[in-house]
Copies of this chain bind each other. A is one copy, B any other.
Amino acid sequence: MERVPVLKIGDFLLVSIQVDMEDQIALQLQEDLSERIVQTGVHGVIIDITALDIVDSFVGRMLSTIAAISKVLDAETVVVGMRPAVAITLVELGLSLNGIRTALNVERGMELLARAREEEDLLDGEDDDEQPAEDGTAVTS
């Protein structure tokens, strides 16, 4: 079975998507990626889509899911290498990449992640929980 490799580079994981994202491959990638995030303790994931001619709603949803999973595991996701034609199509189709940051190329993506990490470190210690209990009961954890 085809499998998309997850490469560790410094404090990031890099995934370069080149094959057609069939259901099974996408699921396997989500699994591999989340395992590697836990295993390596990285705080950033870069997904390169230079090779993709088309980003349809399935791929878009997959990217959003990966970003959401990574977020839960305390890692930010950046999608890099999107072709101009892909960007145009995305907008024309009205597809929005929910919760996904983008950058022009891998290096800019790395910069973005490093900056995001620094900002987060600055905010560290503050409470991130933004859902106040409306009935006034305090939830202690």
Residues of A within 8 A of B (CB): 2-5, 7-10, 14, 16, 18-19, 48, 50-51, 81, 105-107, 110
In the bound complex, how far is the Cα of B5 from the Cα of A106, in angstroms? Answer: 11
Residues of B within 8 A of A16 (CB): 5, 7, 16, 18
Nearest chain B residue, comparing its CB with the CB of A110: B9
Q: Is the interface of A mostly helix, strand, loop or mixed?
A: loop
B51 close to A9 (CB less than 8 A) = no
B107 close to A5 (CB less than 8 A) = no
In the bound complex, how far is the Cα of B9 from the Cα of A110, in angstroms? Answer: 9
Of the A-B pairs whose beta carbons lie under 8 Å apart in the complex, a sample of 12, sorted by A's number, is A2-B18, A5-B16, A5-B18, A5-B48, A7-B16, A7-B105, A8-B106, A9-B9, A9-B110, A16-B16, A18-B19, A19-B19
